[in-house]
Amino acid sequence: MFKPKKLASKDFLSSLDITKLELIYILELAQQLKKKEISVDCEKKVLGLVFDKSSTRTRVSFQVAMSRLGGTTIDLNPNTSQIGRGEPIKDTARVLSRYCDVLAIRTFKHSDIEDYAKWSTKPVINALTDLEHPCQALADFLTIKEEFGSFEDIVLTFIGDGNNVSNSLILCGALLEAKIRIACPVGYEPDKSIIQRAKAINNNEDFLQITNDVNSAVLGANVLYTDVWSSMGEEDQKEEKDKDFNGFTLDQDLVNQAKENVIILHCLPAYREKEITEEIFESKNSRIFDQAENRMHAQQALLSCILS
């Protein structure tokens, strides 16, 4: 049985809670687990899932990853727990961490997951907040590693909203020294604090470009990535955002300007003919379902490092 190295930080709330070396280690471990070259036993450990927002991939990939490690999960949401009745985070976190060995939380405000981590005596994993989606970025860079072998000279262009997914790509990209371009409409740029933190790690001038010109952003890109224009919790902005994002649909025209062997990524769920055309979603360059599968392998690696 393989015994993975433990992470230095208790929690994984942000892509920057791990070091570059730990990130590379997790991605390598994920590849080995995927190929069944190694197996890790987490000795009947229990993962507590708390989802304040909907989820298909994150919920199921965590459940299957944990079961492959010999552990189990419990799945809570506001309706099936006292969270919906307003039980404070500091009480929920202290109780759940007496039962579980690790918690994965999906919620709205990033400060709420920081609160969970503060009060939980066990590690807390970010399963998506409004600010970051670090588990998604692990799977994304695993998919890129599988395709291109390394991150050297890789240009990843994210087209769309400067949201949680783009923020985590920026931070993870900074650690791995990939080149990241974000193409978004005016006013939808990524969070300033994320850009500052990324630049503090990778202050190479070329590392990060934020632009409103989608055509220049896709030129020569190796990876084209998009996500929904309106994230969970922004349902009331949908009509306005659909108008503002006109011209930001990932279509054949944009793909033609990227590298010939460009791969297409989308974290899912997708709205066809909004952020991506059906043609590109289903094209031979699409690695969207490998990327979805990789959520499970990346999280299995992450959990095995956290629980070892």
Least distance to ligand NVA from the beta carbon of 80, Å?
21
Q: Does 167 bind ligand NVA (CB under 6 A)?
A: no
Binds 306: which of ligand NVA, ligand CP, none (CB < 5-8 Å by kind): none
Q: Does 97 bind ligand NVA (CB under 6 A)?
A: no
Bond before 269 cis per omega within 30 degrees: yes
- From the list 15-23, 29-37, 99-107, 163-171, the region that binds ligand NVA by CB under 6 A is 163-171
Q: Which residues in the 100-129 window bind ligand NVA by CB under 6 A?
A: 128
The residue number with the shortest CB distance to ligand NVA is: 231
Could you say which of 295, 297, 299, 305 is catalytic?
Answer: 295
Retrieve residue 167's tokens. 């923020």
Spatial contact of 298 and 291, defined as CB atoms under 8 Å apart: no
Retrieve residue 182's tokens. 């974000």
Binds 73: which of ligand NVA, ligand CP, none (CB < 5-8 Å by kind): none
Q: Does 267 bind ligand CP (CB under 6 A)?
A: yes
Q: Does 249 bind ligand NVA (CB under 6 A)?
A: no
Q: Does 164 bind ligand NVA (CB under 6 A)?
A: yes
Q: Where are the beta strands (DSSP E) in the chain?
A: 46-51, 72-76, 102-106, 124-126, 155-159, 179-183, 208-211, 223-226, 263-266
Could you say which of 59, 110, 133, 287 is catalytic?
Answer: 133
Spatial contact of 288 and 268, defined as CB atoms under 8 Å apart: yes
The residue among 107 and 164 lying less far from ligand NVA, judged by its C-beta, is: 164
**287 flagged as catalytic:** no
Could you say which of 106, 110, 266, 287 is catalytic?
Answer: 106
Spatial contact of 222 and 258, defined as CB atoms under 8 Å apart: yes
Q: Does 140 bind ligand NVA (CB under 6 A)?
A: no
Which residues are CB-contacts of 244 (< 8 A; sequence separation ≥ 6)?
185, 187, 188
The residue among 97 and 168 lying less far from ligand CP, judged by its C-beta, is: 168
Spatial contact of 107 and 129, defined as CB atoms under 8 Å apart: yes
Q: Does 57 bind ligand CP (CB under 6 A)?
A: yes
CA separation, residue 86 to residues 52, 185, 233 (Å): 12, 37, 18
The correct pick among 15, 107, 136, 157 for binding ligand CP (CB under 6 A) is 136
Spatial contact of 206 and 153, defined as CB atoms under 8 Å apart: no
**267 flagged as catalytic:** yes
Which residues are CB-contacts of 193 (< 8 A; sequence separation ≥ 6)?
none
- From the list 162-170, 175-183, 207-215, 254-262, the region that binds ligand NVA by CB under 6 A is 162-170
Beta-ladder partners of 157: 181, 224
Q: Does 287 bind ligand CP (CB under 6 A)?
A: no
Give the footprint of ligand NVA on this chain (CB under 6 A): 128, 163-165, 227-228, 231-232, 267
Give the active site residues. Answer: 106, 133, 136, 227, 267, 295
